[in-house]
Structure 1
């Protein structure tokens, strides 16, 4: 399982080395802060658009999203419904202000509007959440590739982190932007090729249209959920509210994204780049989910493991529960035979266009799926009994299992390059932003004395290197966490709403001053953490009392309300005294 062909190794290593060498070569010689942090302000809209998309599209996207669709269908796409609206708002409000003030960071604007402590607080909140996220974007592909290929986890963390550090420290923002164009090309090429291979692997009488009907029979194509249940993570309403606020915060205030469009040649180029992202992001995510749905259809006709995580299976098979697990596996194998026969019945009914037969076959499929789901849950329970620290959630392993076991030589190397390229792309943006914020918002602003441009470029490189090492260290202990598929978004949701609220106060509430905002933000962060702990964290995944996307709306609304009340109370006190 852990052996790759020479062709796969050649494609994998060659692709990754090309990205690193190209990034260093294209961006050699950045000697001033404008070149290093804002890429010389010469980026065209297509570079900005692809860079923005690549920053968001981490390895987790290409590992977890197909697995999410395999298990739960297409409903996850609702997560992105607020994004196009957010892009329009950012283009109209955020981008013109940032360009007019010629800021290097988003938080520089907050000092101009409020004071230094508010700027520093927002910067520190960013550093905490994005520093954790950088470690996780390295850890996520490492843990999965380690489990599937048998590679050492810590070695993978160091390899991914070091490759990113080399070109990010060397070339700064421009290095990130120019390499992300190549990475997006590699990523989408690999996904399209995989999609058509899956279709080719289906039985001869199953075309794309029939494959969609097969997926639909198992409720994998339920895209829209208009329910108002706050417990549901992904609904139309959570997407255009919580998702909107998350997108506004991420693209409007997160330096890893702001830095992408601050490098634009003009306001128009930056705006066009963001609109490009707004138009194509949902179709891209829809397509990646569709790949996962097609993997589901593929496994209706081909055998699949009871649990896709090989290390979890190995754990239980070496425990006292091995015989129980074998019985479940035997039952699973019988169900797979039944499943294929049921799909053949459904396909035949579709050909004959007999409504009653179609509905009967569909009910048969649903019944088998329920049994299959029950056996998989029972398998997870046995794995937990064997080792309560084992990762039983195998969504992240579905797509990589298909890649390793069913794609031809050469294409495996390309898809592994896709996953590692996505990890490098997101991590590069994060390290670039972390280094910039530390150097300019904290170091430069609080250090006494006058220094040259070269000094601050060196400082930015040093802090980027520091965060790169920290990210590798965080990745090294990230096995303390679980739920990788949503962990990055959950961490962001805890902090983003608060930070977005600070910016909205700066833009639209001109009477509110720095002290009120600062203390409102501190109190809001504390309240959001309490809400997360008691209403989301202590409940199993998918069963929490509140969907985590709502934290973005709550954080933004709370900091605005508290700041306005505090400012009003302060004015009353000053008036009466």
Structure 2
């Protein structure tokens, strides 16, 4: 990075923090601080909802996911528009009618205090962990690539978010997220068109798509019923719909975004805006990753994109073996480049496509062999490099100034998601646990102060989680796995509350405890792909609650 990149990066981040703090200073009551004064318009809600979900993990991991596995990950989002319509029809009218501050507040009016508290605690556990990961994701990758100290990065990202979230609450989060989404869109579009400009002159966009297709990167739809395949049309529409219903309908970090709406209509329009723009947005981000793949068909790429892992093996006794593997890989890339140029000119020649496919499989084999050598050199190294692909491309190929902008995109996304999470964690802790159990008469400003302190506390906890976390298979998957373990259960509780009126609080509470333990066990037994846990958790808690209520009802009848 040169001086221009640093100026762009620091100016962007400081503008967001200062603007957010100044624009929303001086909240005098809980309604202003937690619900943003209920003044948000639909476009603010839509962008805020989108920014909350689109963390730094989205812009780091998703292009890398496409680079390695192609466009199939977009199927994960197929259930989102369906979920948005259901939430607009069912959830939003109920929340607005009851004028709740949190989603879990409704559960007490429908069931009892312990069910409200249980749902709130389940949310706090999973979202508290996720907040740490949204800080950790960009920090560990920027640390590995730029050589920055990991702890320092965690603290910088966390402190920047805490400053304006403590200062302005929900309104600060919503206001800054509009700026952050603008930066994100500008950065991603700039990267996309620059990648196209870097391709050979005779390789047009349509030819680039054909080249990607020859390597299996454009296989968007998978209609198979293979449970070992995480991403199919069915997991997207079934598991994805239940995950999105849970996330957008019962997760306070999202519910709080549209509870700030000026009216029911504004909230509904905001969610529909998100529902129908989110899938194209994710498709585009994956397409950026596919274009990075095409770029590396004509330019040399490392065997492993994680520089820390590469350095570890090159400083070990396996350095010579790794060097020989790199030489073989380089020769393969040269051969593949020539074939790709021919294929770009004559895409109808299937023989060329078959040859490219063979070389692609050989390259994958070389990368797997490289991973084995890295692990032999240092078993603690992270060899899964999906999260490093896009940042490697940014730092090694983009023009000066744009590097700073793309790093600002990554950090802005981290800040927007983390701000929403801290805001929701603090609101839930204050309203569902602290205030509900505080029987003293206090002024509104007192609870504003309490919420700010809880925001600070959750921010510090998120930094601590980020500082001790370890990389998983893929960061975007890790966040969704954590959500899938808890969301189905929480969604089931809400669906019972909405639609099965004769089931009471005790039955739901017992069913939810049993279901949560069972889902955790199922995950660790690795019986199902994680997306199915959303559907499974929802169905089990509903069936159990109905069964328990029926048994209790039978017992009451016998006593009579």
1:366-416 residue CA offsets vs partner (Å, 9 max, x unmatched): 000010000000001111111111100000000000000000000000000
Q: Does 1:509 align with 2:500?
A: yes
Q: Does the alignment pair 1:556 with 2:547?
A: no
Q: Is the 8 A contact 1:73 1:222 kept in 2?
A: yes
CA contact (8 A) 1:63 1:399 kept: yes
Residues in 1 aligned to 2:246 and 2:152: alpha-carbon distance in whole angstroms: 34
Cα displacement string for residues 87-119 of structure 1 (whole angstroms, at most 9, x for unaligned residues): 000000000000000000000000000000000
| Residue 393 (structure 1) aligns with | 384
Show the 5 A alignment for 1:171-570.
171-350=168-347, 355=348, 358-479=349-470, 481=472, 483-535=474-526, 545-570=527-552
Bigger CA drift: 76-85 or 316-325?
Answer: 316-325
Q: Distance in 1 between matches of 2:472 and 2:337?
A: 37
Shift of 1:164: 0.1
The 2-side partners of 1:397 and 1:116 are apart by 45
Q: 2:145 aligns with which of 141, 144, 148?
A: 148
Match of 2:163 in 1: 166
Is the contact between residue 100 and residue 106 of structure 2 (CA under 8 Å) also seen in structure 1?
A: yes
Q: Is the 8 A contact 2:35 2:259 kept in 1?
A: yes
CA contact (8 A) 2:36 2:171 kept: yes
Residue 45 of structure 1 corresponds to which residue in structure 2?
Answer: 42
Q: 1:71 to 1:481 in 2, by over 3 A?
A: closer
**What is the alpha-carbon distance in structure 2 between the residues aligned to residue 575 and residue 317 of structure 1?**
75
Do the aligned residues in 2 keep the contact of 1:66 with 1:399 (CA within 8 Å)? Answer: yes
Give CA deviations for 1:139-174 in whole Å, capped at 9, x if unaligned: 000000000000000000000000000000110000
Gaps of 5+ in 1: 536-544
CA-CA distance at 1:484 after TM superposition:
1.9
Deviations 1:164-207 (A, max 9, x none): 00000110000000000000000010000000000000000011
Unmatched 5+ residue regions in structure 2? none
Q: Distance in 2 between matches of 1:546 and 1:569?
A: 30
**Aligned-partner SS, 1:28:** coil
Aligned-pair distance for 1:348? 2.7
TM-score normalised to structure 2 length: 0.99
Distance 2:318 2:539 in 1: 50
Q: Tell me, in whole angstroms, the C-alpha distance in 2 between the residues paired with 1:421 and 1:528.
A: 34
Please give the root-mean-square deviation of Cα atoms over the aligned residues, in Å: 0.7
Q: Is the aligned partner of 1:121 residue 2:118?
A: yes
Q: Secondary structure at the match of 2:296?
A: helix
Please give the alpha-carbon distance, in whole angstroms, between the structure 2 residues aligned to 1:384 and 1:492: 30
Rounded Cα–Cα distance in structure 2 between residues aligned with 1:113 and 1:380:
53
> Deviating runs (4+, > 4 A) in structure 1?
none
Give 1:541's aligned residue.
none
1:516-536 Cα distance to aligned partner (Å, 9 max, x none): 00000000000000000001x
Aligned residue pair count: 559
Q: In structure 2, how many angstroms separate the alpha carbons of the residues matched to 1:278 and 1:434?
A: 24
- Once the two structures are overlaid, the 10-residue window that deviates more, 95-104 or 378-387, is 378-387
How far 1:480 moved relative to its partner?
6.7
Q: CA deviation at 1:322?
A: 1.1
Give me the whole-angstrom Cα distance separating, in 2, the residues matched to 1:39 and 1:201: 45
Post-superposition shift, 1:231?
A: 1.4
**Separation in structure 2 between the aligned mates of residue 484 and residue 315 of structure 1, nearest angstrom:** 22
Distance 2:188 2:487 in 1: 30
Q: Answer yes or no: is the 8 Å Cα contact 1:38–1:262 preserved in 2.
A: yes
- 1:117–1:518 contact (8 Å) kept in structure 2: yes
| CA drift at 1:219 | 0.8
1:323: how far off? 1.1
Native 8 Å contact 1:391 1:482 kept in 2: no
Would you say the 8 A contact 2:386–2:474 is kept in 1?
no
**Is 1:9 aligned to 2:6, yes or no?**
yes
Contact persistence 1:91–1:271 (CA under 8 A): yes
**CA-CA distance at 1:6 after TM superposition:** 0.5
Q: Deviations over 1:495-532 (max 9, x none)?
A: 00000000000000000000000000000000000000
Displacement of 1:324 = 1.1
Q: Which moved more, 1:317-326 or 1:365-374?
A: 317-326
Aligned equivalent of 1:91: 88
What's the offset of the Cα at 1:327? 1.1
Is residue 211–residue 297 contact of structure 1 (8 Å, CA) maintained in 2? Answer: yes
Distance in 1 (alpha carbons) for counterparts of 2:544 and 2:340: 57
